[in-house]
Structure 1
Amino acid sequence: MDARTGLPVVGMVGGGQLARMTHQAAIALGQSLRVLAVAPDDGAALVAADVVIGRHDDVDAVREFAKGCDVVTFDHEHVPGDLIRTLAAEGFTLLPGADALRYAQNKREMREHLGGLGFPVPRWTAGDLRAFGDEVGWPIIVKTATGGYDGRGVFVADSERDVPPGVEVIGEELVPIARELAAVVARSPLGQVAAYPVVETVQENGICVEVLAPAPGLDDDRAIEAQRLAIDIATRLGVVGVLAVELFETTDGRILINELAMRPHNSAHWTIEGARTSQFEQHLRAVLDYPMGETRLTAPAVVMVNVLGGEPGGMSVDERLHHLFAEEPSAKVHLYGKQVRPGRKIGHVTVIGDDMEDCRRRARRAARILEEGYQH
């Protein structure tokens, strides 16, 4: 408990953009998030007042960090499960717990467990990829069991020769995808849940570039099905905090589970302006066991577009912001304090309104100005 405020202290392991935006949400709740960052120039370390430098896989560093916290949570899934179990056994509160987080850390374990519980997943194997490919038809999708994100660790394999050597992988059928969806929910220790509207996510080269809320053309029954699926997963796995369930909507009308994330997620960044309660505030409410906030949209259409780093040089970021705000004054900009590298997510923009296509046009234009400079 912070003696100055009388409020509990939440610590977040990881100093990236998720911690940065969670810190912003914490301020409104009277808190200043405590952050364990790898380096002092991490995105959250640049803005938070209470920053500790240390590695997420160093049990001594995380233990010392946790001593100043009422609850510890995460802005990524790379904290070892054994470390979490060790500290939990010592009396620290870490949420989500290792028994839940393992299914966001290891795709093989996630597929085995969810499939065993009867949840809809693509056909997959952790065994003989040649035999699997011959059975379901080549090409197949090959994923590294651990460590992949933003398209990394995911391959389309036309034959067994395309499988990367020396790493644990799983194989999945190449399902006929109509589009990708995401169902984001939050769950508290007491089991209260809150579900956000289901969104459509647009991917390019394995990276989410755009999120549309609510998912256009998704009928109410299908949206409820996706929300119930996410709530059921959160409940069955014992997730505390935000859970994002990435989904495939197939051309033959099925919904299949693609990935899980047990933290604030890119597919719900739009909630900062587009929902009554942002996912970041909701995550804090959940881990503190506060009642969940309202999740309704603030406008009929919300579009979030990720800003990716471009080639070095050209117009400064400050100049680009001048042009963006002159051209699209309704766009809300979130920059993450990251060094710019080609293809790296350095921020996002959100536009809300009454018409989805108009919001898409304005959000894309705003993002393009940040990425490339002024657009005539």
Structure 2
Amino acid sequence: MDRIELIAPCHFGLEAVLKREILNLGYEISEVEDGRVSFYGDRKAICRANIFLRTAERILLKVGQFRAVTFDELFEKTRAIPWEEYIPENGKFWVAKAASVKSKLFSPSDIQSIMKKAMVKRLQERYHTDWFTEEGAAFPVRVFFMKDVATVGIDTSGISLHKRGYREVSGKAPITETLAAALIMLTPWNKDRILVDPFCGSGTFLIEAAMMAANIAPGMNRSFTAEEWKNFIPKRDWYDSIDEAEALIHDEIETDIQGYDVDGSVIKVARRNAREAGVEHLIHFQERDVKELRHPKKYGFVITNPPYGERLEDKKDLPALYRTFGESFRTLDSWSAYMITSYEEAERYFGRKADKNRKIYNGMLKTYFYQFLGPKPPKRPGEGRREDGQNSICNGK
């Protein structure tokens, strides 16, 4: 099984960013759908995708795809999947999640139960046993129905990939690490440019940017379910992938990445998170109100996740807050600003209509990524730079 197909779910609307990441890792795209990108690779691709991809939510090993409109069909077609090629006799296996859209089979619990029975039946026949101890490595299965077509995968990641391992405590209205990384990649920012987040909270935007600047792979400080799949992935593949990631780190660099927040206790959390991520020396955090947003240099970037007014009593403060933000930003000559918010009056009180606006779902919350573009800086001799809103991605090879 030298060639396998992997599925990488992502935030809806950010598939192009993930596709570019996968291509930069050297893999062939097989399909791009709403909320996921599929690609071909070898078994080592499981290791490299989990360690290097910044915008994927998890990595699934695709094991089957079929049409089923009855539970009998679901049972037989699940049973036809060669589960023994993936799951050893002592493996722990279950259908961890089932989802269904526009399909006749729509009950997650029933789908999970039927598929588990079919898996047991298949493995009983192949391993010639009536009982499985299920005391070995975990093989959680996920299935997604779309218009009666089931796509079946085994989760190689375990905990979602947005859990980098550096953020134990979050501030108010945290943005996930994967979404933060994707939004940064939608801007022309690079490590040589100034970056400020005046509502930095737990520091996610800044930490993700610093990790990109230092070329630190996002999965280096955590473990993955598939690390225990000794029957399927040689341990050497994991060691080689980590060695590859470590060799690419370049954290002895100078950056101008700054984070402000009016809450001093949140700044302490952000500093701790940056320290855990290994990028504390690349970010300057400061307790500061947005009205004090200032910087002497030109052509910088503001990338931020300002308060949304999640609680009803907080919404009354939003007009003044966004107005102050807009007034402060106007003092930053030649800068660009990018903000994600669910506050629909953001442009009005910010005092400027966005040059670009992208709808993005942050979980179940509909948000907007407003882009207020400043002028391009003059090109320095010998400098190659992208200004098309498609930031470069570090090649993991």
TM-score, scaled to structure 2 = 0.26
Select the structure with the greater relative contact order (CA < 8 A; seq sep ≥ 6). Answer: 2
TM-score, scaled to structure 1 = 0.27
